[in-house]
Amino acid sequence: MSDTKEKSQIEKFREKARELEADESEEVFEAVVRKIAKTRSKKGEG
């Protein structure tokens, strides 16, 4: 019974991620992390 409920919740999550155009690519994730890290390091230098 909880398995059915869990699948429903997972499916809702996936649908929302698609709606928000989320990307599961590791390369994209790493690029975003590098961008954030550069921004944070620049703020720390000032």
- Residue among 30, 27, 10 at smallest CA distance from 18: 10
The predicted pLDDT at position 20 comes to 85
What are the extents of the domains in the chain?
2-45
Cα gap 32→26, rounded to integer Å: 10
Q: DSSP alpha helices (H): ranges in the chain? A: 2-19, 26-45
Question: Distance between CA 37 and CA 12 in Å, rounded?
Answer: 31
Check residue 43 and give its pLDDT.
67
Tell me the per-residue pLDDT of 6-41, one tens digit each, with 9 for 90 and over. 788 989 988 888 888 877 788 988 888 899 888 777
The reported pLDDT for the residue numbered 17 is 85
Q: Say which residue the tokens 């928000």 belong to.
A: 20
What pLDDT sits at residue 19?
Answer: 87
Q: Name the one residue in this structure whose structure tokens are 């019974």.
A: 1
